[in-house]
Amino acid sequence: MAQYVVHRLLQLAFVLLGVSVVVFVTMHMLPGDVAQMLLGDRATNEALAAMRQQLGLDQPIWVQYLRFLLDALHGDFGTSLATNHPAVTDVLVAFPVTLQLTICALGVSTLIGVPLGVLTAVWNGSRFDAVMMTLTLFGVSMPIFWLGLMLLILFAAVLGWVPVGGLMPVGLEPPRVTGMSIVDAILSGDADTIWESLHYMILPACTLAAVPLALVTRITRAEVIAAGMLDHVRTAHAKGLPGHQVVLRHVLRNAAIPIVTVIGLQLGLLLSGAVLTETIFALPGVGRLMVDSIRSRDYSVVQAGAMFIAIVFVVVNLLVDLSYSLLDPRVSRS
């Protein structure tokens, strides 16, 4: 197991190296001049040249990348041009909002998707199965930004059931402990604050959960159907075990690894997919921070945010791989 972990860590290091190249090159391909934006349109050529030299933009691109890579290994991505704070600090302040949104969306997709997948597999070929598969196909196909806007118009603007956006009502905010409004509200112990924090998170979480919910449902259905055809499952049915015991004890245990893999991958995808959701619902997370930073050509924050999300993504994948040995002892033996 230790050798496997070391091998996976080396693979993840190369993945992060490739991500750093893509992030760095992409940011430097964007149109616009950082020195010009900092000094304004009336800046002289001498002032612009001095600013580029100060920022290191006058050096060859490979020199700039090596300097970026060495600084990144020490956790230094530079200083934000907008806040004058270290870029990593701005990302860490915004990350709890993104993490809360991601966990809520993953919880919705898992708690609904897995039971739906099991039911559609058990009732394979029924009208319920056909309706659910049609809805999940719709969920996989529709764009997040369109769904978010439609839900916002219907449930917030027309019906008024949920707030339009934000984390909490103006003037009501729990003491910041973790940066996640729901957790901080629970720690405060105030029932009204807890309800408001949940109320504000319902629509963004459901919007972000639409695609993973459809994927988890379809994958669960397919794996449960496949596991139900195994010999020991047929033997369990032949012995007269109740159907729910067969599904829980035999079918789901064999289908667990693919389902956990999909759920783990969705966690990483949700972190990146939160960009559009946070922008639509005005949530101050990493996604919205990166969008604002791209508009203002704040390279340091964009690079820090992209690398931070990439690190979280590969760590989640590693944890998912390590969980296989807990779900199936045969994996650890192999």
pLDDT at residue 32, as a whole number? 63
- Closest to 9 (Cα-Cα) out of 307, 319, 329, 328: 319
pLDDT at residue 33, as a whole number? 62
Q: What is the CA radius of gyration of the chain?
A: 24
Is a pLDDT exceeding 80 seen at residue 38?
Answer: no
pLDDT at residue 244, as a whole number? 64
Using CA atoms, how far residue 197 sits from 27, 92, 105, 174, in Å, is 35, 21, 15, 9
pLDDT at residue 151, as a whole number? 85
Which of the two residues, 169 and 328, has the higher pLDDT score? 169
Is a pLDDT exceeding 80 seen at residue 251?
Answer: no
pLDDT in tens, 41-89: 666 777 767 766 766 666 777 777 888 788 788 888 877 877 888 888 8
**Sequence letter at residue 82:** A
pLDDT at residue 30, as a whole number? 66
Is a pLDDT exceeding 70 seen at residue 250?
Answer: no
Token pair belonging to 142: 């529709």
Coil vs helix vs strand at 79: strand
pLDDT at residue 260, as a whole number? 80
pLDDT in tens, 98-145: 888 988 998 998 899 888 988 888 888 888 888 888 888 887 787 877
Task: Give the chain's end-to-end CA distance (angstroms, integer).
Answer: 10
The whole-number average pLDDT for the span 220-235 is 76
pLDDT at residue 35, as a whole number? 65
What's the whole-number average pLDDT of the chain?
79
The answer to whether 155 touches 207, Cβ cutoff 8 Å, is: no
Per-domain boundaries in the chain: 2-73, 90-333
The domain 90-333 is classified under which CATH number: 1.10.10.1800, 1.10.3720.10, 1.20.20.10, 3.10.105.10? 1.10.3720.10
pLDDT at residue 31, as a whole number? 63
Is a pLDDT exceeding 60 seen at residue 239?
Answer: yes
Of the listed ranges 35-39, 123-127, 246-250, 284-288, the one predicted with least confidence: 35-39
The whole-number average pLDDT for the span 205-220 is 88
For the chain, the residue count is: 334
The whole-number average pLDDT for the span 21-49 is 70
Say whether pTM exceeds 0.85. no
The answer to whether 100 touches 183, Cβ cutoff 8 Å, is: yes
